Amino acid sequence: MGKTVNRQNSNTRGPIALYLSLPILSWAFYDFANTIFSSNINTVFFPFYMDEVLGTDEVRQQVASTFISYANAVASFFLVLFSPLFGVWIDNTGYKKRFIVWFASISIVFTFMMGVFASFDFNIHYSGVPLSLFLVVVSFVIAKFFFNSSLVFYDSMMGDLGTKEEMPLISGFGVAVGYLGTLCGLLVYLLVSDGDFHRAFIPTAILYLIFSLPLFFFIKDKPIPKAERKKVKFLEGYKEIIQTFKEMKKYKAIFTFMIAYFFLNDAIATTIAMMAVYATAIVGFTSGQFIILYLVSTIATVIGSMVFGYIAKWIGAKQSITIVAIIMIVALILAVFATTQGMFWIAGSMFGISLGSMWVTSRTLIIELSPEEKRGQFFGLFAFSGKVSSIIGPAIYGTITLILRDQGTLASRVALGSLIILTLIGLLIHLKVKPEENR
C-alpha cells in the first residue's frame, strides 16, 4: 500500500512541493547545520588556528600542515572502525534519527570544548607545543568523528523521504541547502580578529545545534518491530562486510564504484582539510581574502549541487560523476601551479562545483545500485570506503609536507599534486562501473 502511495506522489509532487515538505526540509536543515561545522571547523578556523599557533616560519607552516592532516586522518581512522557496525544498526533497528541526535550532540559538545580549551593558557608545553593545542586537537578529533558518524545515518535517511525518481532532486536540494549553511557559518568571522581564530569555535557549536533542531523534532524514525530484530554484536558489521564481499559478483557495479570513490574522496577530503592553509601560506591570501574566496566557492557549490541534481536525473548518476571528476582534476592542476591569486580563484570555484556535485551524484548512484533491503549496509560500506580514503589522503599529504618541510612551499605543492594522480585513478576505475552487472 505504501509503495502505491509513493508512486502516486511521484506523479503529483512538483519540485516546490517536494522541497517544502516538512520531512525533506527538516532533513535538509541538518545538512545546513553540519556544513557549518564542516566549513568553519574542518576547512577554515581550525586550520587557521593551527597555523596561527605553530606556523611561525615556512618550515613550521609545513609542520602545521602535517598536524592538520594527521588529525583528520585519526578521526577518519576511528570512523573506519565503526562505520560497518553503523550499517548493521540501520538495517536491524530502522533507527536513523535516534543515532543522529546522539552523535550530533556529542560533536556539538566537543566543538564547544575546542573553544574552551583554546581560550586557556596552561603554561605547559611539550616539544614547544602548548598543552591547550593538544586538547583542542583531541576535541577536534572527537567532534569530527561523531560528526562524520552522524552522516552515515543521515545519508541513509534520504531513501525514506521520497521515491527512487525523486532521489536526485532530494539529494541536490540537501547539498544546496547545506552549503547555504556555509554562508551562515562564515558570519562567525565577524567575531574573529587576526590572531583570535579560536573565537569561532563556540559560536559554531551553537549554530550547529540550532539548525539541527528541525531534524531532531520533526522527523520520525520508522523502527523495525523488536520481534523482527536480531541481537547485534560488535563484530557483526564486519562479518556482514565479509559476507557482502563474498557476494561481489552480485553487486559488482557497487564495489567497482566504491573503489573509484575511495580515490576520488582522497582528493575531496584532503583538499577540504588543507585549502585554507594552502591558500594563505602558499598562494599568499590573507585570512580575510580567503573567507571571500571560500564564500564564492560555496556559492559555486550550491549552484553545482542543484544543477547536478538535474543533470543526474537527465543523464544518470554515473555519467554525472565522470564529469565531476574531470572538473576536479582541472581544478587541482590549476591549484598546484597557481602563482597568482587569480589562478587560485578559478581553481577554488571549480573545486566548489565539483565538491557539492560529487556528494549529490555519489549518494544518488548508491541508491540506484543498492537493493532496498541492503541500503543501510551499502551506505555503511560507502562511508567505509570514503573514510578509509579520508585516512590515506590526509596521511599522504601530511607525510609529504613533513618529509619535504625544509623545501618550504614546494612541499605543499608536491603534496597537492599527489591528489591529481589519485583523482585520475578514481576516474579510470569509475569508467568501468556497469550498472547492469548488479543482479
Span 174-221, pLDDT tens digits = 877 887 888 899 889 888 866 689 999 999 999 999 999 999 999 988
Residue range(s) defining the domain that contains residue 81: 21-226+235-437
All three cell numbers of 317: 548518476
Whether the predicted pLDDT of 68 surpasses 60 = yes
Does 325 reside within a domain? yes
Does 30 reside within a domain? yes
Helix, strand and coil in the chain, % to nearest 5:
85, 0, 15
The more confident residue out of 377 and 199 is 199
Percent share of the chain, pLDDT over 90:
30
Q: Please report, for the domain that includes residue 108, its CATH number.
A: 1.20.1250.20
Does 358 reside within a domain? yes
What domain count does the chain have?
A: 1
Does 298 reside within a domain? yes
Whether the predicted pLDDT of 59 surpasses 50 = yes
Does 10 reside within a domain? no
Percent share of the chain, pLDDT over 70:
89
Question: Is the pTM higher than 0.85?
Answer: no
Q: How sure is the predictor about 239, in pLDDT bands with cuts at 50, 70 and 90?
A: confident
The Cα 384–Cα 38 span in angstroms is 19
Does 3 reside within a domain? no
User: Of the candidates 216, 214, 213, 179, which has an alpha carbon nearest to the alpha carbon of residue 40?
Assistant: 179
Give the containing element (helix H, strand E) for 126: strand 125-126
Q: How sure is the predictor about 55, in pLDDT bands with cuts at 50, 70 and 90?
A: low
Q: What is the mean pLDDT of residues 331-351?
A: 93
Whether the predicted pLDDT of 131 surpasses 90 = no
Mean of per-residue pLDDT scores for the chain? 84
The Cα 318–Cα 429 span in angstroms is 12
Q: How far, CA to CA in Å, does 348 sit from each of 8, 16, 119, 132?
A: 42, 30, 32, 32
pLDDT number for residue 13: 73
> Using CB atoms within 10 A of its CB, is residue 342 exposed (0-12), middle (13-18) or buried (19+)?
exposed
Whether the predicted pLDDT of 129 surpasses 90 = no
Whether the predicted pLDDT of 6 surpasses 60 = no
Please name the residue ranges forming H helices in 38-130: 46-54, 58-93, 97-119
pLDDT number for residue 244: 66
The Cα 301–Cα 264 span in angstroms is 17
Q: What is the mean pLDDT of residues 59-72?
A: 80
Q: What is the mean pLDDT of residues 225-231?
A: 71
Does 197 reside within a domain? yes
User: How big is the CA angle at 42 (ends 307 and 113), to the nearest 5 degrees?
Assistant: 135
Does 5 reside within a domain? no
